[in-house]
Structure 1
Amino acid sequence: MAKRASKKDSARELAVAAARIAQDNNAEDIVVLDLRGISPVTDYFVIATGTSDRQMRSIADDVIRHGKTVGQKVWQVAGMESGDWIVLDFVDVVVHLFDQPHRRYYDLELIWGDARRVRWQRRSPATRRPDGRRTPRAGE
């Protein structure tokens, strides 16, 4: 029998997946904040900037769809009509999709400045050169 992911693991996995979905949809300045032990209401924030309301709605729809596929129900959705700040509340994970002016104005990273940032980027695979030596990954 397969081991079921703990609540903590599934929240982190959803946050990372939401960040990657935002990246796949060309969002900018994507940040995942670990709020465990800091916030009494949620464990993770995912914050991203969209370049258009259509793009932000598309990201939101994709994150909601992904949540359903992994058994994570979105409890509240706000801002889909206006498209300047969309909030997806999965309880343990809250996704904030901002346009640039609202991202600057609300500055959630400053408000939650004591939160740890989660590394969510996919690691690029190391490749072999024709001479057999390994090409380092980005950042190595």
Structure 2
Amino acid sequence: MTKDTLLQVAYQAAEDKKAEDIVVLNMEGISLLADYFLICSANSDRQVQSIARELMEKAGEAGYEVKSIEGFDAARWVLVDLGDVVAHVFHRDERSYYNLERLWRDAPQLEV
């Protein structure tokens, strides 16, 4: 399975749980952390956790290993490291504060 397939799985998982403002940044050649960042928002702590759980579950079902997860209990910014794809699930109040799209503005946005 490819990193593009993993990206599709992650995107669909976020979309299935009604994530808002889903953005994918192509990090190839920009960051050594991952090839893609998936960034999305949720309206509540519970929805943040639901999206993160779905990302982990769907990635596992597709045969991908979840490398790590951070911030799950606080549910304000959950980072799900899937290797080639790192998903950032923000509570809507936190997303504008951290503004990863601006921080990584050199990364092209992808349409998925």
Q: TM-score, normalised by structure 1?
A: 0.75
User: Could you tell me whether the CA contact under 8 Å between 2:69 and 2:78 is conserved in 1?
Assistant: yes
1:71-90 counterparts in 2 under 5 A?
Answer: 71-90=63-82
Residue 95 (structure 2) aligns with: 103
User: Could you tell me whether the CA contact under 8 Å between 2:17 and 2:54 is conserved in 1?
Assistant: no
Mark the structure with the bigger radius of gyration. Answer: 1
Residue 31 (structure 1) aligns with: 23
* Secondary structure of the corresponding residue to residue 63 of structure 2: coil
* Secondary structure of the corresponding residue to residue 49 of structure 1: strand
| Residue identity (%) | 38
Which one-letter code corresponds to 1:51 in the other structure?
N
Which one-letter code corresponds to 2:12 in the other structure?
R
CA distance in 1, matches of 2:64, 2:108: 23
Q: Gaps (5+ residues) in structure 1? A: 121-140
Q: Gaps (5+ residues) in structure 2? A: none
CA distance in 1, matches of 2:19, 2:58: 17
State yes or no: 1:61 paired with 2:53. Answer: yes
Candidates 2, 13, 19, aligned match of 1:21: 13
Residue deviations 1:59-96 (CA, integer Å, cap 9, x gap): 11111111112221111111110110000011211000
User: Could you tell me whether the CA contact under 8 Å between 1:12 and 1:44 is conserved in 2?
Assistant: no
Residue 106 (structure 2) aligns with: 114
Runs of 4+ aligned structure 1 residues displaced above 6 Å come to: none
Alignment: residue pair count: 112
* Secondary structure of the corresponding residue to residue 73 of structure 1: coil
Residue deviations 1:86-116 (CA, integer Å, cap 9, x gap): 0001121100000122111111001111111
Which one-letter code corresponds to 2:77 in the other structure?
W
User: Could you tell me whether the CA contact under 8 Å between 2:3 and 2:85 is conserved in 1?
Assistant: yes
Higher helix share: 2
CA distance in 1, matches of 2:8, 2:107: 16
C-alpha RMSD of the superposition: 1.2
CA distance in 2, matches of 1:45, 1:115: 10
